[in-house]
Amino acid sequence: MTPIEVYKTYLAFKNHFTKPNYDYHQYCGKSRASKEAFNKRKDRYFFERMSRKKTDDEIKLYFLANFVECDDPTKLWIGEIIESGEENYANWLKRSQSLYYLSKLNQKFSAIEKTLKTYLQLRVRVTQKSLESIYRKLFQ
């Protein structure tokens, strides 16, 4: 991703979280920004560094994490992202990986629980049949 594409991705996320009529998925993350407007920005070095440092997917997750982390996305400005973006991104990754791990763990426990229920049901049936046969032998 080029620096201007990183900037456009930032704008797309900002629009998604701040403007009710813009949907990131509907517009496929597209936003309009001229090269001249990008070159006038004093913080363009941040977008240049991001384009070299992170993959395309990491850049999208980075901006998503920062917009989700803040209390009010309408008041989030690029300076805050530059200052605490990496920390927000790391915390968000931790949480999302923990949720993924917990869901996998829950699936395993569900499978174990199902197996245990089946085992107990079979055991009860065997026990009932054994008791019935003993009862028959005793009282015949």
Please give the pLDDT value at position 63: 93
Mean pLDDT of 1-9: 93
Helix axes of 56-69 and 44-53: crossing angle, nearest 10 degrees? 130
**Who wins on pLDDT, 102 or 21?**
21
Domain ranges of the chain: 3-98
Would you identify the CATH topology of the domain 3-98?
Helicase, Ruva Protein; domain 3 (1.10.8)
How many of the other CB atoms lie within 10 Å of CB of 50?
22
Alpha carbon 23 to its chain's center: 18
Span 20-79, pLDDT tens digits: 999 888 988 888 889 999 999 999 999 999 999 999 999 999 999 999 888 888 888 888
**Who wins on pLDDT, 103 or 42?**
42
